[in-house]
Chains A and B, each alone.
Chain A
């Protein structure tokens, strides 16, 4: 099983969600996060004083999938989240040892 984590532009979250649903994904977890990458931050001006804002708002998506469908899911996310401009974000994949559905106690692939 793989944990797929994607940090994307916040306004792309609906596109990615719809694409994943269409691809048959059963659930995702989303959080609002801040950070910086190569895009860097931006400046804001308040009453003539410029502030450098280093952390840019991003959306983080997490989902656990079967080993066999990981590549397909990654491709779906990458296509849906891309704008072609700097700051589109990243996707990374982590191996997952165990997964348990709390209600039933099912384990492994059955719990996804």
Chain B
């Protein structure tokens, strides 16, 4: 996102390499964030689904994902120029990343950094489908998803050749590509998979909230890599994104807790964790385009609205077990739309001014289009893919396997020995 230069900047490269490691760390962080919320018999099932994404999706990204996301000059999808990492170590520049968008880091660093986004995005779905999906079906689903859904949306939004990027929609670090995308997919899979046996009649309280708090810490820590790393440089914009990220997480937490205390009587530790994550989700698209106190406003709206969105699942009767839709889909939409209000070209000259900064409604409209297109594409394609998997190998574990839990039925292990 920096000024043109085909030369490699060592500071920028160092920061993006570190950010890659930070983002890689978020997937195990997510595993613990989610794992603490499931029942103890499904703990390893949850950890395994997340960690497995680090294995499978990384290979698929190298084989084809990156090429479909960032190859070629098409508006709708990349091409096959970079399959099996062909030429990645030697080409001078990536299609579209020229002029103002010229990269000052090695293309391999960009490849590795983007790989970690591709890994964690399908892993986010596991929170919605907890406790009842066959491991084999999960493996097939995220494998297919990492080829036919993620790279397409990444191309539309992230690649300077993508149609949404060209339209003028902004997504600094994955509000649409990661969170709206994963949230819409999660909803589609839940509708195919069905609800957990006994939900919502039976109590299914979290088995270990300390793990959830630990996971929140890992996510928060890693998120600096997501957002400040997306500056693709070690510069003022990275600093702005880092500060924005932290402030939005802090406000998201406080805002969630205030609403929770008013509505249900207690400020809970799970609420603090959830609110922080909601703030982090919402600031993701905005991180490098807003400044001043905008992240505080964005975090505050996210914490409150995501809390209120928890009710959607009981109202409409879909068992989004760990609230992926309320936190990631709704949080991602909040961030995308608020960016249409708070974007400020004084923060980032490669962005556009939002409604509050004299830009009128152009950006807001583009944000709505980008969010809607991402949501619709991800939902429809994921729904069809899940239906096909369900009709062939079956998505769901047997009622007996669900009763004994995924740890024993899917992995022949127990998280905790009696």
B295-326 interface with A by 8 A CB criterion? 307, 310-311, 314, 323
The CB with the most chain B CB atoms within 10 A, among A44, A47, A49, A50, is that of A47
Q: Is A53 an interface residue (CB 8 A)?
A: yes
Could you say which residues of chain B place their CB within 8 Å of the CB of A50?
264
Whole-angstrom distance between the alpha carbons of A48 and B203 in the complex? Answer: 13
Pairwise interchain contact B264-A45, C-beta atoms closer than 8 A: yes
B265 interface neighbour in A45, A47, A49, A51, Cβ under 8 Å: A45
Pairwise interchain contact A44-B205, C-beta atoms closer than 8 A: yes
- Smallest beta-carbon distance A41→chain B, Å: 10
The contact string, 1 if C-beta is below 8 Å from chain B, for chain A 17-56, is 0000000000000000000000000001111111111000
Whole-angstrom distance between the alpha carbons of A52 and B204 in the complex? Answer: 10
A51 interface neighbour in B205, B271, B274, B310, Cβ under 8 Å: B205
The CB with the most chain B CB atoms within 10 A, among A44, A49, A51, A53, is that of A49
Could you say which residues of chain B place their CB within 8 Å of the CB of A51?
203, 205
Number of interface residues of A (CB under 8 A): 10
Pairwise interchain contact B206-A46, C-beta atoms closer than 8 A: yes
- Smallest beta-carbon distance B333→chain A, Å: 19
Whole-angstrom distance between the alpha carbons of A53 and B270 in the complex? Answer: 17
Identify whether the interface residues of A are mostly helix, strand, loop, or mixed: strand
B200 (CB) vs chain A CBs: closest residue: A49
Pairwise interchain contact A46-B205, C-beta atoms closer than 8 A: yes
The contact string, 1 if C-beta is below 8 Å from chain A, for chain B 258-281, is 001001111010110010000000
Pairwise interchain contact A45-B203, C-beta atoms closer than 8 A: no
Whole-angstrom distance between the alpha carbons of A51 and B307 in the complex? Answer: 17
Could you say which residues of chain A place their CB within 8 Å of the CB of B260?
48
- Smallest beta-carbon distance B238→chain A, Å: 33
Pairwise interchain contact A48-B206, C-beta atoms closer than 8 A: no
The contact string, 1 if C-beta is below 8 Å from chain A, for chain B 168-212, is 000000000000000000000000000000001001011000000
B37 (CB) vs chain A CBs: closest residue: A46
The contact string, 1 if C-beta is below 8 Å from chain B, for chain A 86-110, is 0000000000000000000000000
Could you say which residues of chain B place their CB within 8 Å of the CB of A46?
205-206, 268, 270
A48 interface neighbour in B200, B205, B311, Cβ under 8 Å: B311
- Smallest beta-carbon distance B237→chain A, Å: 35
Could you say which residues of chain A place their CB within 8 Å of the CB of B270?
46-47
Could you say which residues of chain B place their CB within 8 Å of the CB of A48?
260, 263-264, 307, 310-311
- Smallest beta-carbon distance A85→chain B, Å: 21
Whole-angstrom distance between the alpha carbons of A45 and B266 in the complex? Answer: 8
The contact string, 1 if C-beta is below 8 Å from chain B, for chain A 41-79, is 000111111111100000000000000000000000000
Whole-angstrom distance between the alpha carbons of A46 and B310 in the complex? Answer: 11
Whole-angstrom distance between the alpha carbons of A45 and B209 in the complex? Answer: 13
Whole-angstrom distance between the alpha carbons of A48 and B311 in the complex? Answer: 8
Could you say which residues of chain A place their CB within 8 Å of the CB of B265?
45
- Smallest beta-carbon distance B42→chain A, Å: 16
- Smallest beta-carbon distance A81→chain B, Å: 27
The contact string, 1 if C-beta is below 8 Å from chain A, for chain B 233-267, is 00000000000000000000000000010011110
Could you say which residues of chain B place their CB within 8 Å of the CB of A53?
203, 205
Could you say which residues of chain B place their CB within 8 Å of the CB of A52?
203
Could you say which residues of chain A place their CB within 8 Å of the CB of B200?
49
B266 (CB) vs chain A CBs: closest residue: A45
A50 (CB) vs chain B CBs: closest residue: B264
Could you say which residues of chain B place their CB within 8 Å of the CB of A49?
200, 310, 314
Q: Which 10 A/B pairs are nearest by Cβ-Cβ distance?
A: A51-B203, A48-B310, A45-B264, A51-B205, A47-B310, A48-B264, A46-B270, A46-B205, A46-B206, A44-B205
Residues of chain A touching chain B, judged by Cβ–Cβ distance below 8 Å, are: 44-53
Contacts A46-B205, A46-B206, A48-B310 given; 13 further ones with Cβ under 8 A? Answer: A44-B205, A46-B268, A46-B270, A47-B270, A47-B271, A47-B323, A48-B264, A48-B307, A48-B311, A49-B314, A51-B203, A53-B203, A53-B205
